[in-house]
Chain A
Amino acid sequence: MAGPIAQRMPKQRPAPPARTAIAESAFMRRLLIGIALVFITLVLMLPLILVFSVAFSKGLKVYLDSFREPDALAAIRLTLITALIAVPVNTFFGICAAWAIAKFNFRGKNVLITLIDMPFAVSPVIAGLIFMILFGSRGFLGPWLLEHNIQLVFATPGIVIATLFVTFPFVARELIPLMQAQGNEEELSAIVLGANGWQIFRRVTLPNIKWGLLYGVILCNARAMGEFGAVSVVSGHIRGLTNTMPLHVEILYNEYNFAAAFAVASLLAFLALVTLIVKSVIEWKSGKDMIVNPES
């Protein structure tokens, strides 16, 4: 589930096949590259192509009609609302957490770092169950919420909370190593030069972390829109009300409505592709920003 971050591969320049000590023989190189290619084709490319081909199997009209259906529209709307709340909130908290961890020393810092990773460590289903136990009608806070007429689970707020939980680590995890590597000398310089806290953040810290931040934000967004497990538990699957896009796909599929299911799925797949493209552009851009330092 922690895929997108774990997947980041070290950036490599297309170096000439130099005769270095670690170079493999030509045969080994081709074999390894071949295995990787076959694996990627089978596990990644083929499913993606399949999604689009099934989606269009009954023609363009059926494909487009799948989105005009009210339940589908409601699912898209709910997904967008969830992402629109979860991403900014987690961006804010992610920056706060990374700032605190990277720039200050305090007791319990390591505990905090571990806690930030927790949503990656637990299965999203468990996350969903936690919120059911907390806010469900038979949960700890359930009766109190019922008294005050607040509906959290089986409603949009529950879905947003579950998404917030699951997507919390993305921004913070992206920023912590970056900010730690950058240290705080630039911020100290800014203080001595008379800048206040907000000026330091906006003019010094933010420009230094902007690419990492954007990277974290798009990964967070991709996950917020694609989250299934936790949301599935708290949603209650009420059609047209509490179904997000991934849940809607599942329902259509279970009703053997394959073309429609894959049509909505293709939208999610398209989102994933856009995310990957934006991510590559960011990596390229941030790489260009860091021209090799002549001194070090």
Chain B
Amino acid sequence: MKIEARNISKTFGAFEALKNVQITVPSGKLVALLGPSGSGKTSLLRIIAGLDHPDEGQIMLDGVDATERTARERRVGFVFQHYALFRHMSVFDNVAFGLEVKPRRDRPSRSEIEQKVFELLKLIQLDWLADRRPNQLSGGQRQRVALARALAVEPTVLLLDEPFGSLDAKVRKELRRWLRRLHDEIHITSVFVTHDVEEALEVADEIVVLNEGKVEQTGSPDEVYEHPANSFVYHFLGSVNLFHTRVHDGKVQIGDVSLQVRTDRPDAVIYSRPHDIEISRERKDSGWFQASILRIHAIGPLVRVELEKTEDRQIVEAELTREQYTHQRLIVGEEVFIRPRQMKVYPA
């Protein structure tokens, strides 16, 4: 089912949570709403689910206006950040709940419910825990039970609020791969909220970057990462180095590279990721900045080098592979030259 949010606005008291937000979730895709806390991503998810009502705008499900439909009528699956499992029920009863509360005429028979629940418990690989209470499960297990419970009513849409937010790093990685595989199996239109860039990049088919209640960019993980639409997205997606520079005739010149920039201001900022910073002992042409090495962190496969530009004492971070590092034999305190290999330029 295709989901469309049209011109959604929502305020809580004086706080504008969402400002004229427009997104489209194509049928069968797994979409991430990515943004820092307070960016409105959870509000948007709750509005899609019908748990909150927008002040303005419409929610379209498969082209039909569903704004006035209650959460109960929308038939969405919703997984809460803290799972919200029914604490007094067993895992089995939790998953069976959605089937058992159906009106008598739609309700499957007892044996059908049982079969369906065990099917789902097998899908989440927890059929051996059917009799346990939620508080006897680990965080990752609870998360999967919450997912099975949501899927039991065969929702047309699956919405997940920070699905891996309260898990430790290792379980988190496992579970997001598992979610990706699950989605590849069942192809249910899904939206998940996250503030974790890596998670969004790894799991989602498409990413919607939100900030302060507005959509900053929509696109595939590759598009969003490689071509950030603006400086916010660039910043949010990873560590970044800034080089202030001047604009001449709508262009910015770094060495032999010249970049177009749309601005009326005389200044612009060049953005470059640490792994795109090249370090050299000799200045090859004009595109190089002089810098001195402040610190070297050589732990793991990547070596992080912290440098200070001589010109304006700005800190620049560079990431080298271990091979490069051993080849170059950089020393702390040494004077070197650096250059952004890949860069983006945004108006200052």
Which residues of A are interface residues toward B (Cβ below 8 A)? Answer: 185-186, 188-196, 199, 203-204, 207-208, 289-291, 293-295
Contact = CB atoms under 8 A, between A and B. Distances in A.
How many chain B residues sit at the interface, stated as a range, is 20 to 34
B146 to A, nearest CB: 8
Contact of A186 (B86, B98, B142): B86
Interface stretch (B16-24, B75-83, B293-301): B75-83
A3 B51 CA distance: 41
Given A193-B101, A207-B88, 12 more contacts: A188-B51, A190-B97, A190-B101, A192-B49, A192-B51, A193-B98, A193-B149, A194-B72, A194-B75, A194-B153, A203-B86, A290-B135
Contacts of B72: 191-192, 194-196
B80 A188 contact: yes
Given A190-B97, A208-B88, A294 B138 contact: yes
Nearest to B49: A192
By Cβ-Cβ distance, the 5 closest A-B pairs, closest first, are: A185-B84, A193-B98, A195-B101, A207-B88, A189-B84
A145 to B, nearest CB: 46
**Do most interface residues of chain A lie in helix, strand or loop, or is the interface mixed?**
helix
Contacts of A204: 86
A240 to B, nearest CB: 48
Interface of B: 49-51, 70-72, 75-78, 80, 82, 84-89, 97-98, 101-102, 133, 135-136, 138-139, 142, 149-150, 152-153, 166
Contacts of A190: 86, 97, 101
Contacts of A195: 72, 97, 101
Contacts of B80: 185, 188-189
B97 A193 contact: yes
A294 B134 CA distance: 10
A293 B71 CA distance: 30
Given A186-B86, A189-B84, A291 B101 contact: no
A279 B299 CA distance: 60
Given A189-B80, A190-B97, A194-B102, A293 B88 contact: no
Nearest to B88: A207
B1 to A, nearest CB: 16
B285 to A, nearest CB: 57
A42 B75 CA distance: 64
Nearest to B100: A203
Nearest to B155: A192
Contacts of B101: 190, 193-196, 199, 203
Contacts of B102: 194
Nearest to B76: A192
B141 to A, nearest CB: 10
B168 to A, nearest CB: 10
